[in-house]
Each structure stands twice: as C-alpha cells, then as structure tokens.
Amino acid sequence: MFRKRLWEKELSLTGALHRAGVPFMTGTDLSSAYVFPGFSLHHELELLVQAGFTPLEALRAATRNPAIFLGELGSSGTIEIGKTADLVLLDANPLEDIRNTQRIRAVILHGKYFSRSDLDDLLAAAENAAKR
C-alpha cells in the first residue's frame, strides 16, 4: 500500500513540476536495474503522459529537450533541413496514443535506413549475444 501511494505521489509531483515549467528529458535513469535502452524509453513516455504531459510534450522530452540541454539544437532534436537524420518511422501517430511509439516501421540513423526486417535481425543478434 505504501509503495502504491509513493508511486502516485511521484507521478503527481512530476506533473506539478511539469506544469510549473521545469524542463524534462527522458532516459536519465539508464543505469538503474531493469532499464533497457530503447525499450524502457517507451514506458517512460507512457509514464510522462500518465503524469499529465501531452504526447507531444513527452516526445519533446525525448527529442528536442535533450538537444537543447546538450547545446545541439542547431544540428539535432527536431526534423529540419540540415539537421542530423536520426528518425524513427512509425506505423501510427504517437500524438493520438503515446504507445504508438512502439509501432516502429523503420529507423534512420545518421542517414542510414534500417527496415523493420533489419531491426528484427539486430534484435535477434543482440538476444543471441546475450545468451552466450
């Protein structure tokens, strides 16, 4: 019961800080147990929306806000001509449902295209390497 109340308080506090204008970035707890790069981000986006962020605000916490923090908004963080081509192409609109970020069709990383098949092959290779 205590943990549930604590969790609800943490979500409420996150929402209050957001409403007060505190900037947020995703991925800051990467070294914690059971936090896996890429996969955990989707859950984090869902939690931000649960805390009161709009889906767009949650997406900005994963894209634009880190670029601002790192001083790289001129080259990344948004989709614009002349910026680094790092994109995730989705099958559904995450502004309608933030869980749609998990419906990945393809990734463009440093201008290189990775199809869904390519991504599945990379995941299978990582899984096999982890079993060794």
Secondary structure string (H, E, C) spanning 60-118 = HHHCHHHHHHCCCCCCCCCCCCCCCCCEEEECCCCCCCHHHHHCEEEEEECCEEEEHHH
Q: Tell me: pLDDT of 33 over 80.
A: no
pLDDT for the residue 23? 96
Query: pTM for the full model?
Result: 0.87
Q: Tell me: pLDDT of 40 over 80.
A: yes
Q: Where are the domains positioned within the chain? A: 2-131
Per residue in 9-27, pLDDT tens? 999 999 999 999 999 999 8
pLDDT for the residue 29? 67
